């Protein structure tokens, strides 16, 4: 049924894959398409498995089997990608990044890479594979395909990392096995890479992001150039360097299906974060910024965003870590996050969640002074109440929850009628 429905889409289907930023990137692409205007079939609700996608189609399909839209944008999780590609025969596949996620959910990275390679090899020239050229692993699995490959990446002077974060897998040259080096490293193992041994390097970029401006936890701006053409200045209503990558990826997809830059700019400027990814809430006179943390790379980038301006943590911060299925039952991943960043700064750290004590212990070993670490009750909302109590009225604070902790916090805040400042702007 899915195969039939997608075959009837006038503009075809786009599949978005990657460990981090899928939901945001998918929404960005859908928002751009809606300005065209196309009617977009989109598995918006985070239901990114095959049956969720079918449900999205069924919702929009008429009884005669017409898909009720011109184009589909489908968020595919790592495991579902092969089946979705087989059934949907997409016009475009976007490979955004491949980071280490909770391993008990997806198996190891090598395995995912091999599976994806198998899928991509079977595609014909009717599909365009849009690849983050800054990710050497994704470049390796998308080399010499029958399908057309288009790469995007950053050429950025300000926002660079000095060393590979602990969460990143040391990248190895797929040709000669030597360790890769970087002219510039941006996020995790993403950057302008090359092999010092055999000369293999980042492929030619069709879409290049540069001149990135980060505005705290609010928004960002960047320039994107297409081929040899002049660059386009875009403002994006979500913060953090990782969202610059997401915007660059979304713009590459939009351009490949022929959407004018003007519409891309409009959609990005109006874009706001998805529920729970990052949002601001006024609650009991406190200005709370919530940012979801779901894996080491995502957590590292959030910490980078919070400490960028002052070089340390300036505001009181609550970290809420659960270990339910959707969080990953193994909390080992906390040891791959570079919490050492938090050892500087005056902001106190509060821990809660089913594994709050693991988090507090992690901070201790990261070198955070003991008088800055406060253990709250593990249960939510008791942990939230204690935190809000500790933050003086009129002050701002950060909350960094894992996935199910975010759901619990969001429900509490909604039940209590907290004003969601973000959506009221």
Picking from 398, 405, 287, 300, the residue whose alpha carbon sits closest to that of residue 350 is: 398
Smaller CB separation from other proteins, 17 or 354: 354
DSSP H or E segment with residue 418: none
Q: Does residue 379 touch other proteins according to CB under 8 A?
A: no
Q: Residue 161, SS3?
A: strand
Q: Does residue 270 touch Zn ion according to CB under 5 A?
A: no
**Per CB under 8 A, which region of 30-38, 59-67, 360-368, 380-388 contacts other proteins?**
360-368
What percent of the chain is helix, strand and coil (3-state, nearest 5)?
35, 25, 40
Q: Does residue 338 touch other proteins according to CB under 8 A?
A: no
**Per CB under 8 A, which region of 144-152, 197-205, 218-226, 356-364 contacts other proteins?**
356-364
Q: Give the shortest CB-110-to-other proteins separation in angstroms.
A: 5
CB 303 within 8 A of CB 384: no
**Per CB under 8 A, which region of 35-43, 53-61, 99-107, 279-287 contacts other proteins?**
99-107
Span 157-216, contacts to Zn ion by CB under 5 A:
173, 175-176, 178, 195, 197-198, 200
List CB contacts of 89: < 8 A, sequence separation 6 or more. 3, 6, 7, 13, 126, 127
CA distance 147 to 143: 10
Q: Does residue 108 touch other proteins according to CB under 8 A?
A: yes
Q: Does residue 163 touch other proteins according to CB under 8 A?
A: no
Q: Find the Cα–Cα–Cα–Cα dihedral 360, 365, 369, 374, rounded to 10°.
A: 10
Smaller CB separation from other proteins, 215 or 365: 365
CB 137 within 8 A of CB 157: no
Q: Give the shortest CB-379-to-other proteins separation in angstroms.
A: 12
- Give the single-character DSSP code of 340: G
CA distance 127 to 257: 11
Q: Does residue 314 touch other proteins according to CB under 8 A?
A: no
Which tokens sit at 42? Answer: 């989109």
Q: Does residue 226 touch other proteins according to CB under 8 A?
A: no
Span 92-131, contacts to Zn ion by CB under 5 A:
none
Q: Does residue 331 touch other proteins according to CB under 8 A?
A: yes
Q: Give the shortest CB-236-to-Zn ion separation in angstroms.
A: 35
Smaller CB separation from other proteins, 164 or 396: 164
Contact residues: Zn ion, CB under 5 A: 173, 175-176, 178, 195, 197-198, 200
């Amino acid at each position: 049924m899915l195969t039939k429905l997608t075959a009837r889409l006038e503009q075809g289907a786009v599949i978005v894959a990657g460990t981090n930023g899928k939901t945001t990137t998918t929404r960005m692409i859908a928002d751009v398409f809606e300005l065209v205007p196309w009617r977009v079939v989109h598995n918006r609700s985070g239901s990114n498995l095959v049956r969720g996608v079918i449900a999205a189609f069924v919702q929009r399909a008429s009884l005669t089997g017409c898909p009720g839209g011109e184009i589909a944008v489908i968020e595919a999780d790592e495991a579902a990608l092969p089946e979705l590609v087989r059934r949907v025969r997409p016009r475009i596949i976007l490979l955004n990044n491949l980071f280490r996620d909770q391993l008990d959910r997806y198996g190891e990275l090598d395995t995912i890479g091999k599976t994806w390679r198998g899928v991509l090899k079977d595609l014909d020239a009717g599909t365009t594979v849009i690849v983050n050229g800054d990710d050497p692993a994704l470049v390796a699995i998308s080399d010499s395909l029958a399908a057309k490959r288009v790469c995007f990446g950053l050429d950025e002077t300000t926002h660079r990392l000095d060393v590979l974060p602990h969460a990143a897998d040391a990248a190895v040259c797929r040709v000669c096995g030597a360790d890769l080096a970087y002219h510039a490293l941006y996020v995790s193992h993403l950057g302008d890479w090359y092999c010092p041994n055999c000369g293999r390097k980042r492929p030619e970029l069709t879409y290049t992001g540069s001149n990135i401006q980060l505005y705290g936890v609010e928004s960002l701006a960047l320039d994107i150039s297409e081929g040899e053409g002049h660059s386009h200045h875009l403002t994006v209503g979500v913060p953090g360097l990782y969202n610059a990558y997401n915007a660059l990826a979304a713009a590459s997809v939009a351009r490949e299906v022929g959407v004018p830059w003007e519409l891309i700019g409009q959609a990005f400027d109006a874009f706001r974060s998805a529920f729970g990814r990052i949002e601001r809430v006024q609650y009991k006179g406190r200005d709370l910024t919530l940012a979801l943390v779901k894996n080491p790379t995502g957590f590292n980038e959030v910490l980078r965003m919070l400490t960028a301006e002052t070089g340390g943590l300036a505001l009181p911060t609550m970290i809420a870590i659960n270990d339910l299925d959707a969080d990953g039952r193994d909390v080992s991943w906390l040891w791959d996050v570079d919490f050492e960043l938090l050892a500087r700064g005056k902001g106190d750290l509060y821990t809660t969640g089913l594994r709050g004590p693991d988090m507090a212990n992690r901070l201790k070993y990261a070198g955070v002074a003991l008088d800055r670490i406060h253990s709250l009750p593990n249960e939510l909302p008791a942990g939230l109440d204690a935190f809000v109590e500790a933050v003086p009225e009129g002050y701002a604070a950060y909350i960094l929850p894992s996935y199910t902790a975010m759901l619990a916090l969001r429900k509490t805040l909604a039940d209590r009628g907290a004003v969601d400042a973000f959506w009221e702007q």
